[in-house]
A and B are shown apart, each in its own frame.
Chain A
């Protein structure tokens, strides 16, 4: 680069520096590097074509000035994109804060089905000979306690947090019952600890959900006000 196109290049770089200030680091560096590359190729390419340095400088400045409107509108778009990303991030963290316990409730449902099936089979192995009515009753009760009510509870967790706790209670209480004979239960079947953990986390989650809902209801301005 000669002095004229070096000066023009410095002006363009300065403008690029100005309009990219505050943009995300990767976006900012990408645009600055891309303009630096363009300026270099411009100076070299036109010098190879035998175009005078002052003419190259003039072209560089013209390309810069004629693109200022597009630069500014691009920068505005970037700013909006960043704000949207931040807002989406906040929404996501809000969602995580509200729903962190859902996986444990799902584990409780899955664990309930597995342990229910295993204990049913155990009892059969131990000589229990249920009638059709007994079998149907057992399956329906287990299905109600470990599948229907918990799923329903999860669906209405925001609108009816109190009912969510009530509907989860049977599954939680049954899953926590091995705590009464924990040594024996763990000795017989170690994975029972997973069910216990899921029940405890789900209980805490359902209570937190109830507290969060009460707080956000309290924060709502009343319709009468």
Chain B
């Protein structure tokens, strides 16, 4: 069975294609595909961009308005997948099992985000896929100018908008 793929169409930047690892991260993949299928990610922004680290999105509309989400999911960071360059993983609060819709794309090898132990400080961040096309689009996003907006740091000064997220058949 081939892995599901999702295209993120980024306004003015291009298309990022993600391949999702259904076998190693079944819950995270099902969760992500559920948000894709109901259009949750359409017109959301990459609201947190830190070059050399990661670009994060999936939770805010244009104008930094937070979107309601479904419940929190189990953290699958103990699945052996590593937070390597161009992998995609779930963002979360300090609580290990608190991811909902927000995800991030690693723009370097972030080994310190990997699972080391089943406790609060060692759970890590669950990788559930990788960029298979459009790495240059990811690079462009990571290079945009950022600043402080409201209570948030590292917010792109010009919105980086996911026009639509499309699951490929």
A binds B: no
